[in-house]
Amino acid sequence: MRVLVTGAGGFIGATLLRLLAARPRIGQRPIERLAACDQRLAVLPAGVVGIEGDLGHAQLQERLAEFAPDVCFHLAAVPGGAAEADPALSRRVNLDASLDLFDTLAAVKRGVGEPPPVVVYASTIAVYDHPLPDLVNAATPARPPMTYGAHKLACEIVLADHTRRGSLDGRSLRLPGIVARPRTPSGLVSAFMSDVMHALKVNEEFTCPVGPEATAWWMSARRCAQNLVHAAAMDAAGDAGRSWVLPVLRLSMAELVHTLSTVYGVNGERLVRYAPQPAVEAVFGRYPLLDDGAARAIGLRDDVTPSALVRRALEPDYEAAAEEEGWR
């Protein structure tokens, strides 16, 4: 089968691309051709087709139509902070270009009896308003508090409509913050969730903008990529809405620091100075319980234990191929 990853130059996209290149299968079906699309692409794994350009340009959409993927992972997006600062850019990329991509994929001619392309869409938990209720479940209303989440939610709705029509087979995953992003300045307020992990791994001091009791939802990029691949393979027919919040580990900052201390033999309690900023705590320090039963039932998974989260997030070689095989 033919598989396309948009946003393949990004943090999650690159992780997904490496996983697919190393293990070229979707469920039981082998991947014959794998394409990576982004505005700019770094060196790609061997055999991966690179498609560079702007999703908002018709020529690029034509190239994607020519590639004619059986499965598309759509990750390309303007991130939350940038979207909030420039809603016109967010509309162009996160909304219009995404809807164009859906239409492009839906319009590719298929053989008789051939199923429509599978689209795994990287949505966001930012479709939910703050403050979150004490328990997030399938009945929690989506009411996006930022332009990023509003445009992602609109795409979910249009993708679900394509699915209903039979023109695409969509699966939207609402991703939490994913760790551990590289230690380069990203402008993301949530960068501290990754930075604290990098700092403690190498025994550095860290000033934390949320307190020790602050709770967040955690997932490693590797596990996120595994979930995206699983989402492409799973039987999703039973869910009309076609949107799932991923299962997550819900950990307080103190629990995370304790785990990092144990895994890397450092004194995290000494290294971390808590300097809570109310605005940061309000958004990134109050994640409630999550009823992820529907996502688990369909085979999606969290990182299982805090120490596995930490090692999967920080050690690229943590998981041997054999472990990967058994991840489900």
Show Cβ contacts of residue 73 under 8 Å, excluding neighbours closer than 6 positions: 3, 4, 5, 6, 13, 16, 120, 122, 228, 232
Binding status of residue 81 toward a copy of itself by CB under 8 A: no
Binding status of residue 87 toward a copy of itself by CB under 8 A: yes
Among 54, 86, 129, 281, binds a copy of itself (CB under 8 A): 129
Binding status of residue 122 toward a copy of itself by CB under 8 A: no
Task: Indicate the residue among 143 and 183 with the shorter CB distance to a copy of itself.
Answer: 143
For residue 169, the minimal CB distance to a copy of itself (Å) is: 16
For residue 297, the minimal CB distance to a copy of itself (Å) is: 19
Please, are residues 258 and 272 in contact by the beta-carbon 8 Å criterion? no
Task: Indicate the residue among 107 and 275 with the shorter CB distance to a copy of itself.
Answer: 107
Among 15, 123, 124, 147, binds a copy of itself (CB under 8 A): 147
Binding status of residue 150 toward a copy of itself by CB under 8 A: yes
Q: Give the C-alpha separation, 48 to 173, whole Å.
A: 24
Residue 99 phi, psi dihedral angles, 5° rounding: -65, -35
Task: Indicate the residue among 64 and 127 with the shorter CB distance to a copy of itself.
Answer: 127
Show Cβ contacts of residue 58 under 8 Å, excluding neighbours closer than 6 positions: none
Q: Give the C-alpha separation, 9 to 41, whole Å.
A: 5
Among 54, 86, 96, 255, binds a copy of itself (CB under 8 A): 96
Please, are residues 192 and 224 in contact by the beta-carbon 8 Å criterion? no
Binding status of residue 321 toward a copy of itself by CB under 8 A: no
Binding status of residue 101 toward a copy of itself by CB under 8 A: no
Beta strand residue intervals within the chain, DSSP E: 2-6, 25-26, 29-30, 33-38, 48-52, 71-74, 118-124, 135-136, 169-175, 178-179, 206-208, 215-220, 243-245, 249-252, 272-274, 289-290
Please, are residues 94 and 143 in contact by the beta-carbon 8 Å criterion? no
User: Can you read off the two tokens belonging to residue 38?
Assistant: 């982004």
Binding status of residue 74 toward a copy of itself by CB under 8 A: no
Binding status of residue 86 toward a copy of itself by CB under 8 A: no
Please, are residues 119 and 74 in contact by the beta-carbon 8 Å criterion? yes
Of 26, 69, 32, 76, nearest to 230 (Cα)?
Answer: 26
Task: Indicate the residue among 119 and 266 with the shorter CB distance to a copy of itself.
Answer: 119
Stretch that binds a copy of itself, among 86-94, 247-255, 282-290, 295-303 (CB under 8 A): 86-94
Site for a copy of itself in 220-259 (CB under 8 A): 240-241
Binding status of residue 88 toward a copy of itself by CB under 8 A: yes
Among 45, 53, 79, 145, binds a copy of itself (CB under 8 A): 145
Task: Indicate the residue among 123 and 220 with the shorter CB distance to a copy of itself.
Answer: 123
Of 155, 182, 181, nearest to 170 (Cα)?
Answer: 155
Q: Give the C-alpha separation, 214 to 156, whole Å.
A: 30
Contact residues for a copy of itself, defined by CB under 8 A: 87-88, 91, 95-96, 99, 103, 129, 139, 141, 143-147, 150-151, 153-154, 157-158, 160-161, 164-165, 240-241
